[in-house]
Amino acid sequence: MDTVDSMRKAGNDMINQTTPGDPYVRELRDKLDQLGNKWDSIVHDANERAGELRETLHAATSFWEELNGTQQTIKDLHEQIRAQEPPALEEAIVRDQMDILQVGHINLCNKNLLCKKTRIKDRPVS
């Protein structure tokens, strides 16, 4: 902004040094106003863009954390399933094995719901 302020100051200095009634004063003032308006528009747009980038960064960070957590849950569930004994013939042992499998499934479903809740509204998911 130092450059814009310098241009405004130089333009105002030139206006102050002109003789009254100089026909170029109005043109110079118009140019200075245009410069100021364009600069203000750039600053506004840049601030808006920075806000959008912060919002996107937050969403991306949440997504990657959840993705990594979900992948770890899937890995843990896979390891639990592979580590289990073959299905037993005894009813109580089979129920225990089914309970372990159900807990893993619930954990995975909960992660999936968490992912859906953190999506930014009105933004397509690709």
Per-residue pLDDT of the chain (126 residues; tens, 9 = 90+): 588 889 889 988 998 888 877 888 888 889 999 999 999 999 999 999 999 999 999 999 999 999 998 899 889 888 887 887 777 678 888 888 788 777 766 766 766 655 555 454 444 444
What CA–CA distance (Å, rounded) separates 73 from 78? 8
Q: At which residue do the structure tokens 């969403």 appear? A: 59
Helix intervals (H) in the chain: 2-17, 24-83, 91-117
Question: Per this entry, what is the length of the chain?
Answer: 126
Give me the sign of the Cα torsion angle 48, 53, 59, 62: negative
33's tokens:
């106003």
CA 62 to chain centroid = 9
